[in-house]
Amino acid sequence: MNRIYLDNAATTPLDKEVIAEMVNVMENYYGNPSSIHAQGREVRTLIEKARKSVSGLLNAAPAEVFFTSGGTEADNTAIRCGIAAYGLKHAITSKIEHHAVEHTLDELLKKGVIDKLSFVNIDSKGNIDYAHLEELLENNPRTFVSLMHANNELGTLTDLERVGDICEKYDAILHCDTVQTMGHYVHDAKKLKAHFMVCAAHKLHGPKGVGFIYVSHKVKINPLIFGGAQERNMRGGTENVYGIVGLAKALEMAYQDMGAHQQVIQELKSYMKTRLEEEVPGISFNGETEPEKSLYTVLNVSFPEMEMVDMLLFNLDINGISASGGSACSSGSNIGSHVLTGIGADPNRPSVRFSFSKLNTKEEIDFVVEKVKHIVEQNIAV
């Protein structure tokens, strides 16, 4: 069976050119980058070349980019270290953030590191209420704000420039979870006014287990991980050299072909939305779907109530279709999507997130729509 992969928001296939770059490092560059001999120095050069490439694409300084094990570590570093460095006691976020943000802030509140955690209002499509954000900051200036660029389940985009302007007005520290959008949109560090941005390489056809955190020169933080002088004393541990090289290569390729990929993937998303509307009665879409308001790689579909809700993804899987999803949490239950619950989605309706990449085709979409139509017809509640 030739499987169809529509779970690119979870992870993307490694690009062949990225693999080639990484294999070259694995085979030929084995020195420890902290060693002062020639083999160590040449590996250190690879890391710094990658840092310069990444920082250039972000319009940042190389000294503002630190490599990590991925997005979760980067988010934790920004939140824990940012709050600690400035002794902040109040944080603002939303109820549809990634667990790397949500759980970290919950833990800081639980342990008394922060005294208060406020949630900015969101609407039924996952848009934040900018007026409410300003109201929260007006009452609590010099606070920590953590808001994602695009929701990983819904695809709804947040206007980071607008958020940055509001945060600057009230001297707030701004962390943006940019995991889903790094490599898919241009991120200009000087223009966005964010103090922290993050990346996970595997979301843009790079390797798993590596990412980076952008830390603006305007803030100074202490390390999250101690143990050595690596990453300019900001992250202990021998660097994942081939991962870092792979990350830089993947980001370079993403920026090089960004416009073309954006157009192709957006067309696939729009095509699938239209086909589903034509073929599957009773569906609706979670989050924003208009191109200017929505991440072009994500389409979240809510299906009619079914007798066997849990079987929807299973049936897709056995038909060779990889996707992800769930439903809103039921009352009194922790099982389900906190994001769908946060926007007030119907817990009785299953939802599937289809997420696309440059490798998907229109023919694949046609196949998926036909299979979805058949599965829904066979399982619709009566």
| Residue 379: its H or E element | helix 362-379
Element (H, E) at 173: strand 173-176
Run of H or E including 196: strand 196-200
How far is Cα 157 from Cα 349, in angstroms, rounded to an integer?
Answer: 24
314 within 8 A of 126, measured Cβ to Cβ: no
DSSP 200: E
- Would you tell me how many other CB atoms lie within 10 Å of the CB of residue 40? 16
How far, in Å, are 38, 212, 275 from residue 200 at the CA level? 30, 7, 32
Distances (CA, A) of 100 to 51, 69, 81, 106, 161: 24, 13, 14, 10, 23
Query: Is the distance from CB of 191 to CB of 158 less than 8 angstroms?
Result: no
Q: Which of 81, 167, 199, 329 is catalytic?
A: 329
**What is the C-alpha separation between 252 and 54, in angstroms, rounded?**
8
Q: Is 199 a catalytic residue?
A: no
**What are residue 214's DSSP bridge partners?**
65, 197
| Residue 66, strand partner residues | 213
Distance of alpha carbon 320 from alpha carbon 2, whole angstroms? 7
Q: Give phi and psi for 69, each to the nearest 5.
A: -85, -5
Cα–Cα distance, 172 to 157 (Å, whole number)? 21
Task: Give the residue among 335, 266, 339, 267 at the shortest CA–CA distance from 302.
Answer: 339
**Residue 117 phi, psi (nearest 5):** -125, 115
**Active-site residue set:** 329
